[in-house]
């Protein structure tokens, strides 16, 4: 059985000071904070991800000559410093 999800645009700041803007899909009516705090999954799926300050992205090992946008990324929740819905 498939559960419909709600797309939420977010900004994510990671512990290494990298910033990711993108979309996460959560259950209808659920708060982003509740979704992030659920312990059942260690990774967060972010679609339409755009990396900012990619010159300082050490955790993802991206360099300035690589694409700064990704269709989908899997982000380890333990690397998130804070997240903001936009």
pLDDT tens for 7-23 read: 999 999 988 888 899 99
Give the pLDDT of residue 65.
45
3-state SS, residue 86: coil
Residue for token digits 């360099």?
A: 63
Q: Rounded distance, CA 86 to CA 64, Å?
A: 26
pLDDT tens for 18-61 read: 889 999 999 898 899 888 887 688 999 999 999 876 555 555 55
Indicate the CATH number of 6-85 among 2.30.30.100, 2.60.120.10, 2.60.40.10, 2.30.110.10.
2.30.30.100
Going from N- to C-terminal start, the domains of the chain cover 6-85
Which residues have CB under 8 Å from 27's CB, separation 6+? 3, 5, 6, 35
- Dihedral sign, CA of 62, 19, 80, 5? negative
Q: Is 79 exposed, middle or buried (0-12, 13-18, 19+ CB in 10 A)?
A: middle
Give the pLDDT of residue 21.
94
Give the pLDDT of residue 36.
87
Q: By C-alpha distance, which of 26, 39, 36, 31 is closest to 81? A: 36
Which residues have CB under 8 Å from 31's CB, separation 6+? none
- The answer to whether the predicted template modeling score (pTM) of the entire model surpasses 0.85 is no
């Amino acid at each position: 059985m498939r559960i419909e999800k709600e797309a939420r645009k977010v900004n994510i700041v990671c512990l290494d000071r990298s910033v990711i803007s993108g979309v996460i899909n959560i259950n209808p009516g659920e708060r982003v904070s509740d979704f992030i705090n659920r312990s059942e999954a260690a990774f967060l799926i972010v679609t339409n991800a755009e990396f900012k300050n990619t010159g300082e992205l050490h955790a993802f090992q991206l360099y300035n000559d690589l694409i700064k946008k990704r269709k989908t990324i899997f982000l380890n929740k333990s690397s998130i410093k804070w997240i903001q819905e936009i």
